[in-house]
């Protein structure tokens, strides 16, 4: 018998060869991956790429991004500073942290960057949504929906908003112990259905929508592979069911004779006639942004007010000063505008726990950030959460302190929980209004004890307590529903 190498055991040699070949292939693939990423830099620009890691071939650092959530940004900030490079969700990406840099990105719409979301988000949301439309289509749709959030429209939403909040607060007090996050999602989805879309739905249908949106939201930032059992595949299944449900609600909406809603305002002002598919996608987007982000912000209010009893006492004091504590009648915009401390509370909640923690853009041209190049065509991912929490103008940025807003003179440069520039959240005034009403109704009608004042917070896609925020509610007075 002959052996492949003189004086050696053939079997042992083949074991060595078999182990070396995969290792060599991995090294070659890794080298080619790094060469490919390096070639993506703009060679016409003398500035270097930011520091960072591009991760594994093809996958990049997508798994870390999806599993670590906000901690991914924090780790990058600690390791590489305010600007770094990576590869996530299939795209070479520049991560942008720090208030000055994030604001530059937000204000650079159409000049430096264009609106962009990962493929998983675009596919699940659909191209007919306002946030994903571009150019003239985006301008037209945004112009029409802005009318749904002007002073007159906001005034028309007040009474129904109060009724919804009181109904849920009363129910929480009757139940005693509730899961704050789950209840805030129900409250905000009911609010979105009635005030934004004009849907009148049953409690059973509300529960079905919440379950579908939970699966849908979990799939938004995922690897866009339709593998059965994956987050993206589950999200697509949930999307199909949501579109079917929303279609049913739209048909039923013709029979709804309640107060004006945002969708009605939008359709009256629209210069284009939306197809049924586009209308369903717009409704799905309004319901998503109107309850997922709003529910998260409402839950954060419960958490920080429950943890800081002295803040709630200050709210009560302000309401008494304006003769609003004992009057549970209809609020007006003018009354809410007088409540400076309530406004401070809302600002502080969305500063420390912004319901939308960040976003994505696409570089339209190569430009500079902190001495590094951001190459044309690369994705730009920015973090609002870290920018606001670690800004120099917010001493002790991780501390909940509504009083900090009394002396704030530069908030525009460092505070953008609803975005900024051309893509600023069109419903931000309604969002702030909803939170102010919620604070007032909580202060007037109930008290609550958190069973865990310092829960673990999962921050993607929105901040939410892992334990659901269990709390015990008790009524201060009999509510009139």
Asked if 384 and 460 count as a contact pair (C-beta separation under 8 A), the reply is no
DSSP annotation of 274 reads P
Q: Which domains does the chain have, with CATH numbers?
A: 128-356+417-475 (1.10.630.10)
Question: In 40-118, which ranges are continuous DSSP H helix?
Answer: 62-68, 70-80, 99-107
Which residues are CB-contacts of 224 (< 8 A; sequence separation ≥ 6)? 89, 90, 118, 119, 120, 123, 232
161 vs 20, 109, 188, 191, 391, CA distance in Å?
A: 67, 34, 10, 7, 34
Helix/strand number for the chain, H first, E second: 19, 12
Asked if 117 and 132 count as a contact pair (C-beta separation under 8 A), the reply is yes
**3-state DSSP call for residue 81?**
coil
Residue 447's nearest CA partner among 421, 476, 406 is: 476
Asked if 273 and 415 count as a contact pair (C-beta separation under 8 A), the reply is no
103 vs 99, 113, 215, 284, CA distance in Å?
A: 6, 12, 31, 29
State the pLDDT at residue 480.
Answer: 43
In this structure, the chain runs to a length of: 481
| Tokens standing for residue 274 | 């939306």
Helix H or strand E segment including 296: helix 294-307
The gap between the terminal CA atoms of the chain, to the nearest Å, is: 94
List phi, psi (to 5°) of 373.
-90, 140
State the pLDDT at residue 30.
Answer: 47
State the pLDDT at residue 140.
Answer: 67
Q: Is the peptide bond before 26 cis (omega within 30 degrees of 0)?
A: no
Distance, in Å, from the CA atom of 95 to the CA atom of 383, rounded to the nearest integer, reads: 8
Distance, in Å, from the CA atom of 192 to the CA atom of 153, rounded to the nearest integer, reads: 15
Asked if 188 and 288 count as a contact pair (C-beta separation under 8 A), the reply is no
Distance, in Å, from the CA atom of 288 to the CA atom of 180, rounded to the nearest integer, reads: 19
Distance, in Å, from the CA atom of 43 to the CA atom of 23, rounded to the nearest integer, reads: 32
Residue 388's nearest CA partner among 360, 413, 406 is: 413
State the pLDDT at residue 124.
Answer: 85
- Per-residue pLDDT of the chain in tens (481 residues, 90 and over written 9): 444 444 445 555 555 545 555 555 555 544 544 555 555 788 899 999 999 988 887 778 888 887 787 788 888 888 898 899 999 877 899 999 888 899 999 999 889 998 887 788 888 887 666 666 666 666 666 776 777 888 888 898 898 899 999 999 999 999 999 999 999 999 999 999 888 888 888 889 999 999 998 898 888 878 788 888 888 999 999 999 999 998 888 888 765 566 678 888 777 766 566 677 778 888 888 888 878 889 999 999 999 999 999 999 999 999 999 988 876 677 889 999 999 999 999 999 999 999 888 889 999 999 999 999 999 999 999 989 888 888 888 888 889 999 999 877 656 778 889 888 888 888 888 999 999 999 999 999 999 999 999 999 988 778 999 999 999 999 986 444 4
Distance, in Å, from the CA atom of 225 to the CA atom of 227, rounded to the nearest integer, reads: 6
Residue 192's nearest CA partner among 290, 260, 281, 125 is: 290
- Neighbour tally for 137: CB within 10 Å: 15
Distance, in Å, from the CA atom of 147 to the CA atom of 170, rounded to the nearest integer, reads: 33
pTM of the model: 0.84
């Amino acid at each position: 018998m002959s052996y492949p190498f003189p004086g050696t055991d053939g079997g042992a040699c083949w074991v060595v060869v078999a182990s070396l070949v995969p290792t060599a292939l991995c090294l070659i693939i890794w080298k080619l991956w790094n060469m490919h990423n390096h070639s993506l830099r703009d060679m016409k620009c003398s500035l270097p790429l930011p520091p960072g890691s591009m991760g594994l071939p093809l996958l990049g650092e997508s798994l870390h991004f999806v599993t670590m959530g906000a901690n991914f940004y924090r780790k990058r900030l600690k390791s590489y500073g305010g600007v770094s490079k990576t590869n996530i969700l299939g795209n070479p990406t520049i991560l942008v942290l720090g208030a000055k840099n994030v604001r530059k990105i937000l204000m650079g719409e159409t000049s430096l960057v264009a609106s962009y979301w990962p493929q998983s988000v675009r596919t699940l949301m659909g191209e007919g949504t306002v946030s994903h439309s571009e150019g003239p289509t985006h301008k037209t749709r945004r112009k029409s929906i802005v009318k749904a959030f002007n002073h007159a429209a906001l005034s028309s939403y007040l009474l129904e908003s109060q009724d919804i909040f009181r109904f849920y607060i009363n129910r929480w007090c009757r139940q005693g112990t509730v899961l704050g996050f789950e209840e805030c999602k129900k409250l905000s989805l009911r609010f979105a259905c009635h005030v934004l879309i004009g849907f009148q739905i049953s409690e059973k249908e509300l529960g079905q929508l919440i379950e579908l949106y939970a699966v849908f939201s979990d799939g938004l930032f995922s690897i866009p592979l339709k593998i059965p059992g994956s987050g993206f595949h589950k999200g697509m299944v949930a999307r199909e069911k949501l579109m079917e449900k929303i279609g049913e609600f739209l048909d039923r909406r013709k029979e709804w004779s309640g107060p004006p809603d945002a969708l009605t305002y939008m359709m009256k002002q629209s210069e284009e006639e939306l197809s049924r598919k586009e209308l369903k996608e717009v409704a799905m987007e309004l319901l998503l942004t109107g309850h997922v982000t709003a529910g998260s912000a409402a839950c954060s209010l419960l958490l920080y007010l429950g943890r800081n009893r002295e803040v709630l006492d200050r709210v009560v004091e302000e309401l008494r000063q304006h003769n609003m504590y004992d009057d549970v009648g209809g609020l007006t915009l003018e009354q809410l505008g007088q409540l400076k401390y309530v406004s401070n509370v809302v600002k502080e909640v969305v500063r420390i726990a912004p319901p939308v923690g960040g976003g994505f853009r696409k570089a339209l041209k190569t430009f500079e950030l902190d001495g590094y190049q951001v190459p044309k065509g690369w994705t730009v991912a920015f973090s609002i959460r870290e920018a606001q929490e670690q800004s120099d103008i917010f001493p002790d940025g991780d501390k909940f302190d509504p009083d900090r807003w009394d002396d704030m003179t530069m908030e525009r440069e460092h505070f953008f929980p609803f975005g900024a520039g051309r893509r600023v959240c069109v419903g931000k005034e309604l969002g702030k209004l909803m939170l102010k009403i919620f604070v007032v109704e909580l202060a007037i009608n109930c008290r609550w004890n958190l069973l865990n004042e310092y829960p673990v917070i999962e921050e993607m896609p929105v901040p939410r307590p892992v334990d659901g925020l269990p709390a015990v509610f008790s009524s201060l007075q009999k509510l009139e529903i």
